[in-house]
Structures are given as structure tokens and as C-alpha cells.
Structure 1
Amino acid sequence: MSLPGVRPAPPAGSGFPQPTLRHPLRQIGDRRFDFSRQVAVMAVVNRTPDSFYDRGATFALESAVQAALAAVAAGADWVDIGGVPFSPGPELPVEEECARVLPVVQALRAASDCVISVDTFQPEVARRGIAAGATVVNDTTGLHHPELAEVVADSDATLVITHSLASPRTQYPRPHYDDVMTEVADFLLRRVDLAISLGVPEERIVIDPGHDLNKNTLQSLEITRRLGELTALGHPVLVAVSNKDFIGESINAQREERVEGSLAAMVACILAGARIVRMHNVTQSVASVRMTEAILGLRAPHHLKHNLGEFNVHD
């Protein structure tokens, strides 16, 4: 829309340095994304009795399916379904993890063309999840099991590689980094190279710095401040900041009081170039993402009315 005295929208990212992605156009299942001009909202559905945030609220199958459908109805582009928390604990048999995850994947795929990811580090769970309709494997262990990359390579799925140092479900006390962002970036680049060597095309890889995963609050805050160093590497960056402990410790808030802090951290990451955000509170997150896209010039306002008519209207 051209209006008298109104300059055209600025180039995407004007005022905020934005990444130049090598493969911004992504076909993920039935959805096509242009990460040079949009941010995807990933909702979280944990079918676990002990997830850090919902404490088992979506452990029952019906509750998990309804939460996934509600997230899509609220505007989520993507739903991440997990059966095992990242936190330390006993190993869950693969059959049990599949029994938790696959029915939710199947039910959501039958009802929606949204992107579905399975949050797993187990190659067999990834294989069965893809067969059930998932189009992304979200591995929070940074390819602890390299065979997982081979599973993705044999499909059309996308792989999310996350920085973490501990073996799955084990403690990693008092993490130390000489330079946390440099070391996170180096780790992720090495794991990207590994995935490519195992057959995963570069255009089907996403990276995640792993806020709070084997990191303390000061380290997660530094990653947030310096995220532009990671987004400058040319791979789409996913951030999972929602309701995490670094937010709770930063603003002295219990987990049920971290929504505003989570949204602030999310917006900061988008301004630094993040293009996928993994969030629990979908309605608030979608609105915040769309507003941030408009500020960056990545998208036009939904409509224009204020102070454009014959009379000024003050809302």
C-alpha cells in the first residue's frame, strides 16, 4: 500500500543486523518457510509425567493430543512432541518412548499439515516418528547417537542439532567454558559437518545453542546477548528459552511466573536472527513474534487504519 508521506517498508532487518542464510527457503513437510522473512513458532507438547514445566499435564494421550491441536489453533506453525525429558533420570526403553510419542504424532498428522517434530535422541524413535508423520527430529543431545543422522538422511525430514555436553539424562555439574559462545558455535559446526558426512543435506539442518542445557544462568544470558555470532554462521537458529531456569533466576520468578521474561528473551533472540522459537505459551508467543516481524520489516502490518482516515482516531 502506497500512502502520501509514508516511506516504503525498510529492508528486512533494518536497524538490527540480520543473518544471511545459505538456505533460507525450507520445505518442511507440507509447510514452506522463507526464514529470510519469517519466524516459525514451535509449540511444546511433552507426553511425560515429569517434564520441567507442565509437570505431567499432557501425559495422558487425550490431553497431549488436545494440547497439540490447541497449539495449532492458536497459530503455532510447528509442534514438538517429546516422550523423555532432558533432565537427568533413568533410561526409558525405546518401546515405551514410542508408545508415548507415536500416537500423538499420528493424531496430529491426521488433523493438521503443521510441522511435527519428535524430540528424541534415539534413532529408532526417530525412525518410527518419521514413519508416523513427523517431519523433523529434534535432538537435544547434539547427535550423541550419530546413527540418528543416518535415519534422517534416509528420509525427507529436517534435523535440529542442539548443543549439550552430557550423555543423555545424566548430570553435568558446574559447567565451565572459557568462551561459551565460541565453544557452542564450534561444537555445533562440528556436529553439522558430522551430519552432512552421514548424508543429511545442509539445507535440512537447523542448529540450537541449547539455553540452560549444561549451562548456568550467566552462560545462557551470554549466549542470548551474543546470539548474533551464531546466526551469522548461515544456518537457521532455533532457540528454546521458554520458562527456563535462566529466566527464573534472572527475574526471581517461579516457573508459572516466567511468561513475560520468556517473551522478552524470545524477542531478543529474534532481533539477533533466531528464526524458530520453541515456546510453551503459544498465544502470547505468536502475537509477540508477529509484532517483532513487523518491527523488523519482515512482514507488513495486518491492516492499516489508525490516523489514515478523514478524522484522527485516538484509541
Structure 2
Amino acid sequence: MTQRPRPLVMGIVNVTPDSFSDGGQHFDAARAIVHGRGLIAAGADWLDIGGESTRPGAQPVSEAEELKRVVPVIEGLAGTGIPLSIDTMKPGVARAAISAGASLWNDVNALRADDALETAAELGCQICLMHMQGAPQTMQADPVYEDVVAEVETFLLARAEAAIEAGVPRESIWLDPGIGFGKTLTHNLALMAALPRLAGLGFPVLFGASRKRFIAALNGDAPADQRLGGSLAAALHAARSGARMIRVHDVRETVQALKIQAAIASAP
């Protein structure tokens, strides 16, 4: 039996005191590095390191503080052989992170900051462009769309074109529909249902729904650390829908679920 390839799994390393699920758990370089190595042992194909929370209502941090949080962690994980991603909206942080050993800039702001497009082209790294309506501080206040799928699709294609025009190679661009970033439950479900359409736009899709609030909205307000079942359901759906990488907290469980799904799909 030949298994169909499963999506890559990106493990989350939050070096923050206030991320929605694991804020403060790995809020120093040593603990974050240990956590990252644990995710690698659990089967992570990538690690995504972030030093500024983007949960709803999160307050921004200075560039200096973000650099202090993430650069030592990237340096500590750069020799593991696993590719690293920097989760930041700041071009200066991206520049330092790529220099320290990261190879993907995961930008929830889709390179809309001053000099972000030019920096991305100069760095020559992979880029993930995510859709977000508003900013983390206010994005969940009252998100409104006429057609969420069409609007997210139009936005992502426009940002990809802007990146290409700035000099980012087309083959270096990933897209992320931004589940939970300025979306209601209805918006999130519509985007997840439309993942095959988004995966057909000509760019690989990075999908992240791990432990997000929409799961609790469908399941009795379950706290973040009790959303594994919903996270796995979303990950399996994303895999079936064409996502190329899935960003998760629970790496071991997600890898196992994806392997089983791929084996069943490949059974004679």
C-alpha cells in the first residue's frame, strides 16, 4: 500500500506571556527551545516561532522586545535540521530572524507594514500571507463581510501579486485564510468549507485552526486546552481540502491523525 502524502505539520512555539492558548508557558528562551525540540521529537516538520501575541485584544510589543524574545530561540533551534518560521508583522524582526536561521516569514498582516514588501524581496525567504480584517486589538469587535470567501480570496491574490511585483518569487509564497482573525463563527465555517477553492488558487495553503475560539463556540465554551478534538477535526478537513501545511499546538496527535487518514485514503 502506498500512502498519499500528508500535509506538513508546523508546530507552534509562542515566546509570549499572553498568547490565547499557551501564553507564558514557554516565556524564556531556554524553555521555548526545550518546547521546540519536544515538538520536533513529536513529529513536527516545521516550527513557527512568535514573540508577539496576535490573539483577539492583544496589545502590540516593541520591536526591541520582540527581538529579545525570538532571536535566541531561533538561534537555539537553527541546528536541529527542521526549518523555522518567524511569526511577525515587523520587517525588522523578520530580517533578524532570517539572519538567525529562519527560512519563512509568516506575516498575519500580509506584508502591509511599511517596507515589508521590499524587505521580503530582499530576504529571499519563503513568505506566508494571511488574511486579517482589522488589527488584533479590535478584529473581533464586529467583523462584517458581504461574501467572506470572495473577499478573502480577492485580498490574498492581491497581496500575492503585490509581493511578486516587489520581487518575491511566486514559488516562495504561501497563503493563509486567517481563521479567527476578524471572523465570526459563520465566517470561519464558510472559509473552511471553501478550502478546496482557496487551495486551487495556485499557491500552497497554510492552515491554522488549532485550539481556536470557534471550536468552543460549537462545543460549550471549552477552554483552549480542551479543544483537541475540534482541532483535529479541522486539521483532517484541511488535509482533505488541499492544505499543504497545518499549524498546530498538538503536534503528536495531529501527525498521528493525518497519517491514519492518509493510510485509509490509500487503502486498496
User: Is the pair's TM-score, using the shorter chain for normalization, greater than 0.5?
Assistant: yes
- 2:260 is aligned to 291
The equivalences for 1:226-245 within 5 A come to: 226-245=194-213
Sequence identity (%): 38
Matched letter for residue 244 of structure 1: K
- 2:69 is aligned to 100
- 2:23 is aligned to 55
Q: Relative to structure 1, is the Cα distance of residues 113 and 60 closer, same or farther in structure 2, using a 3 angstrom cutoff?
A: same
Does residue 78 of structure 2 align to residue 109 of structure 1?
yes
* Pick aligned residue for 1:215 from 183, 199, 215: 183
Q: Is the contact made by 1:42 and 1:277 (CA closer than 8 Å) also made in structure 2?
A: yes
- 1:78 is aligned to 46
User: Whole-Å Cα distance in 2 between the matches of residues 60 and 50 of structure 1?
Assistant: 13
1:154 match: secondary structure = helix
Could you tell which deviates more after superposition, 87-96 or 265-274? Answer: 87-96
Aligned length: 266
The equivalences for 1:1-315 within 5 A come to: 37-87=5-55, 88-110=57-79, 112-145=80-113, 147-167=115-135, 169-252=137-220, 253-297=222-266
Q: Relative to structure 1, is the Cα distance of residues 142 and 229 closer, same or farther in structure 2, using a 3 angstrom cutoff?
A: same
Runs (5+) with no aligned partner, structure 2: none
Could you tell which deviates more after superposition, 219-228 or 81-90? Answer: 81-90
Q: Shift in Å at residue 150 of structure 1?
A: 2.1
- 1:32 is aligned to none
User: Whole-Å Cα distance in 1 between the matches of residues 211 and 135 of structure 2?
Assistant: 23
User: Whole-Å Cα distance in 1 between the matches of residues 140 and 110 of structure 2?
Assistant: 15
Matched letter for residue 292 of structure 1: Q
Matched letter for residue 86 of structure 2: V
Q: Is the contact made by 1:39 and 1:293 (CA closer than 8 Å) also made in structure 2?
A: no
2:237 match: secondary structure = helix
Q: Shift in Å at residue 41 of structure 1?
A: 0.2
Q: Is the contact made by 2:129 and 2:159 (CA closer than 8 Å) also made in structure 1?
A: yes
Q: Is the contact made by 1:144 and 1:167 (CA closer than 8 Å) also made in structure 2?
A: no
| Structure ID, larger Rg | 1
Q: Shift in Å at residue 255 of structure 1?
A: 1.3
* Partner deviation per Cα, 1:16-59 (whole Å, 9 max, x = no partner): xxxxxxxxxxxxxxxxxxxxx44110000100000100131011
Q: Relative to structure 1, is the Cα distance of residues 172 and 248 closer, same or farther in structure 2, using a 3 angstrom cutoff?
A: closer
User: Whole-Å Cα distance in 1 between the matches of residues 124 and 237 of structure 2?
Assistant: 31
Q: Shift in Å at residue 63 of structure 1?
A: 1.1
Could you state the TM-score of these two structures normalised by the residue count of structure 2? 0.94
Q: Relative to structure 1, is the Cα distance of residues 168 and 151 closer, same or farther in structure 2, using a 3 angstrom cutoff?
A: farther
Q: Is the contact made by 2:29 and 2:73 (CA closer than 8 Å) also made in structure 1?
A: yes
User: Whole-Å Cα distance in 1 between the matches of residues 163 and 264 of structure 2?
Assistant: 35
User: Whole-Å Cα distance in 2 between the matches of residues 153 and 290 of structure 1?
Assistant: 35
Q: Is the contact made by 1:247 and 1:262 (CA closer than 8 Å) also made in structure 2?
A: yes
Q: Shift in Å at residue 288 of structure 1?
A: 1.2
Q: Relative to structure 1, is the Cα distance of residues 113 and 185 closer, same or farther in structure 2, using a 3 angstrom cutoff?
A: same
Could you state the TM-score of these two structures normalised by the residue count of structure 1? 0.80
Q: Is the contact made by 2:133 and 2:139 (CA closer than 8 Å) also made in structure 1?
A: no
Q: Is the contact made by 1:149 and 1:159 (CA closer than 8 Å) also made in structure 2?
A: no
User: Whole-Å Cα distance in 2 between the matches of residues 295 and 225 of structure 1?
Assistant: 22
Q: Relative to structure 1, is the Cα distance of residues 168 and 218 closer, same or farther in structure 2, using a 3 angstrom cutoff?
A: closer
2:49 match: secondary structure = strand
